[in-house]
Amino acid sequence: MNLNDVISDLKSLLEYERDEGVGGVAVSPEVLAGVGTGASSVVHGGAVAQSIPSQDFGSAQPAKVVPHAEQVPIADDSLSRIAAEVAACSLCPLHGTRTNTVPGQGSPNPEIVFVGEGPGADEDEQGLAFVGKAGHLLTRMIEAMGLTRDDVFICNIVKCRPPENRTPELSEMNACLPYLKRQIGLLQPKVVVALGATALTGLVEMPKGMGITRARGTWLRFAGIDLMPTFHPAYLLRNPNVKKYVWEDLQAVLRRLDKPIPEVKKR
Ligand code: URA
Ligand code: SF4
């Protein structure tokens, strides 16, 4: 990494922090921009060091169009049918304390599906995924990718709010997982982004000692789909200094989708 890259990374981090209202930052992004010779505002999307390509990702294209997901949609299934089943679901104890079920929402034909941990208070209230504070940050992450929430699908590994926002149990995630798998089978995204340690543990059997900190930025697989783990936006709200890693991970997703990497906006 050369000096300009370092300055550029620092600058984008400061911009994030300023936008998030983090106080006590002694230097503004604009001041930093003037440091060094011609530091650009572009965060360079260099290869993520620990990124490993998934086994069947190659340049050769299959002759036939094959579904991305292993999960082949079952006859007559639909997102609204899944949502209706979820609304009536009592497969795990979380049904007892929910106000509304939160099946997830977004594009019916997305390239990316974001999977979080579980609904919080705002989500439980509205029946929509990621509409609270963490959701606001997720929106900004999606917009930084040059996309909108309507371009992607946003959901959670459990569809009902765990009481007091506790972490869902593995048994609850496993009870709920068939709904997510059916959604993925219908949506056929090219990439699933797992937001945070809980979603990751629910989606992929992780080797011992492999937490989100080590797994993030590496390509894994879920239901036949490329899966990128990254930090949860709620974790970013508490630890803004890791946002630059999330941005690296999201850039890796854009590269995999052959999408341009937008400049980090000057504000
Ligand atoms: N956190 C999550 O994991 N999911 C939401 O929908 C909101 C906050
Ligand atoms: Fe059913 Fe999932 Fe809600 Fe549990 S969290 S009751 S499995 S919809």
Ligand with the closest atom to the CA of 159: 2
**In b/e form, how buried is each residue of 26-40, taking b as 16+ CB within 10 angstroms?**
eeebeebbeeeeebe
The verdict on the CB of residue 102 being under 6 Å from ligand 2 is no
Of 82, 78, 91, 77, the residue nearest 173 (C-alpha): 91
Ligand with the closest atom to the CA of 90: 2
The verdict on the CB of residue 91 being under 6 Å from ligand 2 is yes
Q: What is the pLDDT of residue 64?
A: 56
Q: How far is the CA of 88 from the centre of ligand 2 (A)?
A: 9
The pTM (predicted TM-score) of the whole model is 0.77
Q: Strand pairing partners for 113?
A: 153, 192
Question: Any idea which residue has 């059997």 for tokens?
Answer: 205
Ligand with the closest atom to the CA of 177: 2
The verdict on the CB of residue 172 being under 6 Å from ligand 2 is yes
Tokens of 226: 């490329």
Q: How far is the CA of 118 from the centre of ligand 1 (A)?
A: 5
Name the DSSP letter for residue 130. S
The verdict on the CB of residue 112 being under 6 Å from ligand 2 is no
Distance, CA of 49 to CA of 56 (rounded, Å): 20
Alpha carbon of 146 to those of 143, 251, 265: distances in Å?
A: 5, 11, 11
Q: What is the pLDDT of residue 74?
A: 81
Question: What is the residue-level pLDDT of the chain in tens, covering all 267 positions?
Answer: 445 444 444 444 344 344 333 333 344 444 444 433 333 332 233 333 333 333 333 344 444 556 778 877 888 899 999 999 999 999 999 999 999 999 999 999 999 999 999 999 999 999 999 999 999 999 999 999 999 999 999 999 999 999 999 999 999 999 999 999 999 999 999 999 999 999 999 999 988 888 999 999 999 999 999 999 999 999 999 999 999 999 999 999 999 999 999 998 644
Fold of 64-256: Uracil-DNA Glycosylase, subunit E (3.40.470)
The verdict on the CB of residue 100 being under 6 Å from ligand 2 is no
Q: How far is the CA of 165 from the centre of ligand 2 (A)?
A: 15
Distance, CA of 91 to CA of 2 (rounded, Å): 53
The verdict on the CB of residue 179 being under 6 Å from ligand 1 is no
Residue ID of nearest Cα to ligand 2 atom 2? 176
CATH 3.40.470.10 domain extents, the chain: 64-256
- Rg of the chain taking only CA atoms, in angstroms: 19
The verdict on the CB of residue 159 being under 6 Å from ligand 2 is yes
Distance, CA of 225 to CA of 189 (rounded, Å): 8
